A and B are shown apart, each in its own frame.
Chain A
Amino acid sequence: MSQQPPMIQITNLSKAYGKNTVLHDISLDVPQGGSVALIGPSGSGKSTLLRCINLLEEPSAGSIRVDSQVMEFGPRSQRPGGARLAGFRAETGMVFQSFNLFPNMTVIENVMAGPLYVKHVPRDAARAQALELLDRVGMAHKADVSPSNLSGGQKQRVAIARALAMQPKVMLFDEATSALDPQLVGEVLGVMRDLAAAGMTMVVVTHEMAFARDVADTVVFMSGGYVVEKGPAHDVIENPQEDRTKEFLRHFHVGRN
């Protein structure tokens, strides 16, 4: 059996803000098509780790590989320039808790922004692809409205389509449903579930334990900037080994679905 290299490979990654180290020597592999859920208490470094994967935050040390692009950080590595950073980020899609849609563009223009302005795809092709993606997330009927007229769940589905438009190798989700009214959470989780089922490599920061258990194949529990426990999703959620994981999961009532 030939072993494929992991799609995401994080090696000995550390991140400090001044003297405050918020990620300690983290190593994590995500195989092609795998989906990892990052869970942990507030301030444990989940967002920081996720933002390091697409270099929205610059790691202090360690290396990150996504598919064939490798970035090394540390005192002996040269800091990557703007163009290299942009090229690296263009291959990873990211979805934020606060959507971050561009208010100066319509819904479809948001989805076309990456292909048009980063990849320089012809407008017709960008538009056709955007319509297809909006259809996939159930938002084609809102293509020409301003994002400010959408509900939170609709905004987030557009944001997912916008990230997918770059045809990323991996998708990163930072609490994509935390800002949503409870009745809107399902529609966004549904889109994410479909993506995982379609074989997208995903890293998902979430407080939805049922989602972590049922959709992710691996769960990583972080605390204080360390990876405390990681393993098959069902095992970690249902039968945690570490005390801190047990303590954390006690706060959640993980329903069946």
Chain B
Amino acid sequence: MSYQWDFGLVWHYAPLLGTGIEYTLGLTVVTSVIGMVIGTCLALCQQSRMWFISVPLGMVSEVFRCTPSLVQLIWCYYALPIVLGITLSPMSAALLALSIYGGVFYGEIFRAGLRSIDPGQWDGARALGMTSWTMMRRVILPQVLRRMVGPMVSQTVLQLKNTSLVSVVTVPDLVYQGQMVASATYRPLEVYTTIAILYFLILFPLTQLSRLLERRWA
């Protein structure tokens, strides 16, 4: 009962896996950046005293926090086009679902960062006559951003792992390409081992970086 490992065949399909890595990284970068923008807007809007802005946004956040991202993705791909009467390519559905999902969590990190700032800092800045924007830029953000870097990197690690879900809507990320290679080679053990190693090689440095930043800046 000894299995003959043979990675030679997998190596043969390396270009396919390369494409998968490109999609995985690309999706991560794009959805993280959009997610951070969404998160910033969410955090700032929820700070606002206008309830008709903060309450609906709070509810949207809760929906995304309390449902699995796989369900969100599938819903965006199959249900949303019917609800809105539009067509969504697999890639658009993936970008949409993952960006909003990321946005909700990046927003939470940003909000926690803002909350962690001593209220006296706001008083001190306002008392000097700073406008909200100047106060944010010169006093609050420089303090918040340092504390946020670690959690932001951790969230981006999660974001990258979440991109593996897009294979269910046929976006050719690393997992999807792996499935292709596995069915072509009948070597699923080798293929999925390779894929696991590839994810690890990408993510391990990131998690180390996040730990380092957290230790240095927290």
Asked if B138 is an interface residue, CB under 8 A from chain A, the answer is: yes
A226 touches B (CB below 8 Å): no
Q: Does B66 contact A (CB under 8 A)?
A: no
Q: Counting CB contacts under 8 A, is A89 at the interface? A: yes
Interface size class of A (residues with CB under 8 A): 20 to 34
Is B85 an interface residue, CB under 8 A from the partner?
Answer: no
Complex partner residue of B129 from A100, A101, A159, A166, CB under 8 angstroms: A166
How many angstroms between the C-alpha atoms of A118 and B127 in the bound complex? 11
Could you tell me if B123 and A104 are in contact, using CB atoms closer than 8 angstroms? no
A74-125 residues at the B interface, CB under 8 angstroms: 82-83, 85-94, 96, 98-104, 113-114, 117-118
A114 touches B121 (CB 8 A): no
Indicate if the CB atoms of B138 and A117 lie closer than 8 Å.
yes
Chain B contacts of A102 at CB under 8 A? Answer: 121, 124-125, 138-139, 143
Q: Is the CB of B124 within 8 A of A101?
A: yes
Q: Are B143 and A104 in contact (CB under 8 A)?
A: yes
Contact of A113 among B120, B123, B128 (CB under 8 A): B128
Contacts of A89 in B (CB 8 A): 126-129
Q: Are B142 and A166 in contact (CB under 8 A)?
A: no
| Given A89-B126, A96-B120, A104:B131 Cβ within 8 A | no
A118–B128 touching, CB < 8 Å: yes
Which of A87, A98, A117 sits near B120, CB closer than 8 Å? A98
Instruction: Identify which of A88, A90, A94, A103 contacts B143 (C-beta below 8 A).
Output: A103
Tally of chain B residues near chain A (CB < 8 A): 18
Using Cβ atoms and an 8 Å threshold, which residues of chain A touch B134? 117-118
Interface residues of A in 53-93 (CB under 8 A from B): 54, 56, 82-83, 85-93
B198 at the interface (CB under 8 A from A): no
Instruction: Name the residue on B nearest A55 (C-beta).
Output: B126
Give bound CA distance, A87 to B131, whole Å: 9
Q: Which residue of A is nearest B144, CB measured?
A: A104
Q: How far is the CA of A91 from the CA of B132 in the complex (A)?
A: 17
Given contact pairs A101-B124, A103-B143, enumerate 17 new A-B contacts (beta carbons under 8 Å). A82-B131, A82-B132, A86-B129, A89-B126, A89-B127, A89-B128, A90-B128, A93-B127, A96-B124, A98-B120, A100-B121, A100-B123, A100-B124, A102-B121, A104-B142, A117-B130, A118-B130
Residues of B within 8 A of A (CB): 118, 120-121, 123-132, 134, 138-139, 142-143
15 contacts between A and B (CB under 8 A): A86-B126, A86-B130, A89-B126, A96-B123, A98-B120, A100-B118, A100-B121, A100-B127, A104-B139, A113-B139, A117-B130, A118-B134, A163-B127, A163-B128, A166-B128
